[in-house]
Structure 1
Amino acid sequence: MKQDDDKIDYLLAGKIAGSLDSAELIEIDILIAEDNTVHERWIALNNALPANGVSEIEWADLSTILQKSKTNIHFIKKLAAAAVVTGICVTTCLYFLPNKKTVSIAKNTIQLTLSNGQVIDLSKEKGDVATGDAQLNNTQHTLTYTVIGKEKTGINSLTVPIGKDYKITLEDGTEVWLNSASQLSFPFSFTGNTREISINGEAYLKIAKDEKKPFIVHLPHNSVQVLGTEFNVNSYDSGMVKVALVQGAVNLISGNKTVAIQPGMEAIADADGINTQQFDKNRVLGWKKGIYYFYAADLKEISKVLPRWFGINVSIDNPAVMNKKFAGGVDRNQPISVFIDNLKMVTDIDCYFDEKNNTLHFK
């Protein structure tokens, strides 16, 4: 697998910094799992980082630099010596990293990468699928499994590509619905005193109640602690995490700050701290039915959704239409042409689809 070296270095450094968006993070995680050379470079980069801590200001500066420059690995190592990831952060990244194995699999399919490196194409393999660690069942867009033999604590990775969604039921009965361009890292068996998973992108979770084993969801730079509840997490926007609580009670942890979220409230964590507000269920949870609702939205907001749902590029050619507001919905179950026709019908925004470049132009 040949990749542009500068881009790989950028993605590896961004993974360390936590500055990648969900699509970039999925891309580098797939490369690390599938390509031996990239895997070795990832390990070498982690080994080059000292275990000292770094202040929030240094970390923010590092993220900004990485986002603006596609630097090479030598510069990254020098930069890391001055402003480095905490030992805990590095350990977490490695803990949720699938073992390497060179495979060939389409990137537009739902993939399950096992802790031993085996990759299963869930878009192709239906019904019962036997592995060395568990008996899988992939039926009706849902994955369930039974552990074979002893408890299995290695970390598996479930990746949902652009334009798709998928559901998995974990060992304890917890149900996780993953939106497009999202990834879940999880063990087949929960051992110890906690149940822990990692999510990047967007997911809706219905946590099985177990007062003796609190459930912890790791998000980019944040985590959610819960005993039994239903909530939505969204980390699509780099540097921002949203947690919307449907029922139960959860705590959103960001750095040294912990905020309790009440049902019907959404907590938003970013560089400025954590704020809470009421949320609209249709707007936040509509994606589970394949619909993205928007209210008083501008094209910038919609342009973030269309690439994730339809795998297209978006170009806003006329800056004058950037801030125009409108309301409506995008149905992932319908062709993109339906959204284009509806938009033209209710607004004066003109757009056309450049099929050659797979780009939707707004003018």
Structure 2
Amino acid sequence: MKQVISKCGNICSSCPWGVWIRKNQSPDEWESFVRDVKKYLGYTPTKNPCHGCQTPTENLAKDVGVHNFLRGCSARKCAFHNNFKNCAYCSIYPCDKIKVMNLNNSRKDVEQRIGEPLPDDKYLAYVHIFEGKKTLDKIRSGLQPDQIHAVKKIDLKPPSIVPFPEVKMTTKTSSYKSLHDILSRIITSDLGLINTDTLAVQDLLTSRRRVLLKLLWIVAKHGIVEGSRLSTDSITINKQKKGTSGFPTTESGWRRWVEILEQVGIKGDMELAPLDKDELISPIGWLRDRISGSNNPAWYLKIALDEAYGGSNVLKDLVSYVELLDGEFSTRAFTKFSRADMSFLKAK
């Protein structure tokens, strides 16, 4: 059978969630297959099979849960938008979105999670098929220059920020003005991403900005002051994120977010509880928010502001600002925070 390759390079025709792999399996073979998938990938294939990334969105069955993921996949949407067979044909390949999608899908990652060597046949059956960039790299190496096409650029709509109000400048309002300037820089930052005028990377930037603002809100509202830093426990972060998509679920994911925070002058540090990793990480590789069998946090996120962003003084002002918004505006508080809205100063 000819391989079916997704837009991002995954091998759909060998995917445990796909319709192809199931065609010639007996019930007993399927049960054995499912056990292997669960062990090596951490998830159980869904009952209703996926019909593949290359299927046009309007033809995706609505009763297949995996199709919801396909509909929302920005790499797929970008490739369809540009009429690319797959991302290897794109002029800016590999973009930041493709790089992010291939951070935790290697043989080494799986072996670390399951705690044992991965047999070659299992690697080829369950892991290699999701090493999309390897597949795309191979395709790219065989393309001629005239087969690579320019990506379509789209306008990048800047985040909405409420201008600082016209008020008499006092010690207090001057502090808020400094905070407004810093928040504006953070909110509008490209967070180190390039090619943000493309559909896939712009979607990634929007997602990261959403997580960044929610994380800052949680830390400022619930964090404990420790010298020049704010410390927030994992249980609080997990509880307060309230369905915000994009939050990391693994230790490596959180450590990458520490690096992302550095792009906006936030010095982050992630401290795990002093226990064996097995007590902090779930069987599918997710970082627990609490120590197994207890209500104690499994880790803490600690942040400080770089002096170029105002240091500890602005961090304290951030805490005061969030406290004031939360007290005065309740359910509207976070929306105001995400726009650096300080119009309340006009009434004071």
TM range (shorter): under 0.3
Taking CA–CA contacts closer than 8 Å with sequence separation of 6 or more, which of the two structures ends up with the larger relative contact order?
2
Name the structure where strand makes up a greater proportion of residues.
1
Give TM-score scaled by structure 1 length. Answer: 0.23
Name the structure where helix makes up a greater proportion of residues.
2
Larger Rg: 2
Give TM-score scaled by structure 2 length. Answer: 0.24
